Amino acid sequence: MTWRTTGTKILATTPIFSLRQDLRERVSESGRRHDFYFLDAVDWVNVVPVTDSGEIVFIELYRHGIDAVSLEIPGGMIDPEDPDAAAAAAREMREETGYEAERLVPLGVVHPNPAIQGNRCHTFLAENARRMGDLRPDETEDIRVVLYPRLEVPRLLREGKITHALVVAGLYWYLASDG
C-alpha cells in the first residue's frame, strides 16, 4: 500500500505554491510506476474570533477563484517570519479584521486536500476578541468585517452562505468544541 519516490522535479514555482511532479513506484509491485502531481504550499491558519458578547467576527471578501464575494473567518498562510501557527493566526486576524484576542486556543488541524497537497490548516479560537485598530489587508484584498451571533452559524452553513471548505472545517472545530 505504500509508494516509493524514484524521481522528482519542480514544474512551476509561484509566490503561493509550487507544482511538483514525482515518479513513484508501488513498493508491493516492483515495476508499477506512475507520475503524481502535487501543489506544495506552506501551512495555513484559520481563526474563529468570538467577542465577549458571543458574536463571531467574519469577513466578506472577493475571491477570484469563484469570481464572487465569500463569507469567511480570518485566515491565511503562515509566513516565514511567523514563529508558529498561533502567531500567524493572531497576525491574520489583526490584518483582516482589526481585532485582537485575549487568548488563542488551538481547535484542530486538517489537510486541505491530501490527494495533491501535503500542507495543513490549523484552526484557532480567538477568545474575547476586541476591535483594536484598523484593518491592514493585503493590496489585493477588499475586506468588509461583519459579525454574526454564534447561533446564526449553523443556518449560514445550511443555507450555503459559507462555502469555503477550510472555513467550514474551522467552524466545525469551533461548534464541536461546544463554542
The total of structural domains in the chain comes to: 2
| 26 confidence band (pLDDT: 50, 70, 90) | confident
The pLDDT > 90 percentage for the chain reads 86
pLDDT at 59: 98
User: What is the C-alpha to C-alpha distance for residues 138 and 95, in angstroms, rounded to an integer?
Assistant: 8
Does residue 51 share a domain with residue 35?
Answer: no
Same domain, 71 and 151: yes
State whether 29 and 8 are in the same domain.
Answer: yes
Same domain, 82 and 135: yes
What's the pLDDT score for residue 167? Answer: 97
Q: Are residues 116 and 139 in the same domain?
A: yes
Same domain, 114 and 165: yes
Mean pLDDT of 20-31: 86
Q: Are strands 121-127 and 55-63 parallel, antiparallel or unpaired?
A: unpaired
Reply yes or no on whether the pLDDT at 179 is more than 70.
Answer: no
Q: Taking residues 69-92, what's their average pLDDT?
A: 97
Is residue 22 pLDDT above 90, yes or no? Answer: yes
Which of 50, 52, 47 lies closest to 86 in space, CA to CA?
Answer: 47
**Listed residue (17, 23, 21) closest to 37, CA to CA:** 21
DSSP structural state of residue 16: S
Alpha carbon separation from 19 to 34, 48, 72, 138 (Å, rounded): 16, 30, 26, 24
Say how far apart CA 85 and CA 94 lie, in whole Å. 14
Residue 32 has pLDDT above 80, yes or no: yes
Give the domain extent around 28: 3-40
Residue 18: its pLDDT value, please? Answer: 97
Residue 171 has pLDDT above 80, yes or no: yes
In this prediction, residues 14-20 reach a mean pLDDT of 95
Of residues 76, 89, 19, the one with CA closest to residue 47: 89
Q: Is 113 in the same domain as 99?
A: yes
Average pLDDT, the chain: 94
* Residue 2, pLDDT score: 86
pLDDT reported for residue 134: 87
Tell me how far apart the terminal alpha carbons of the chain are, to the nearest angstrom. Answer: 39
CA distance 23 to 4: 9
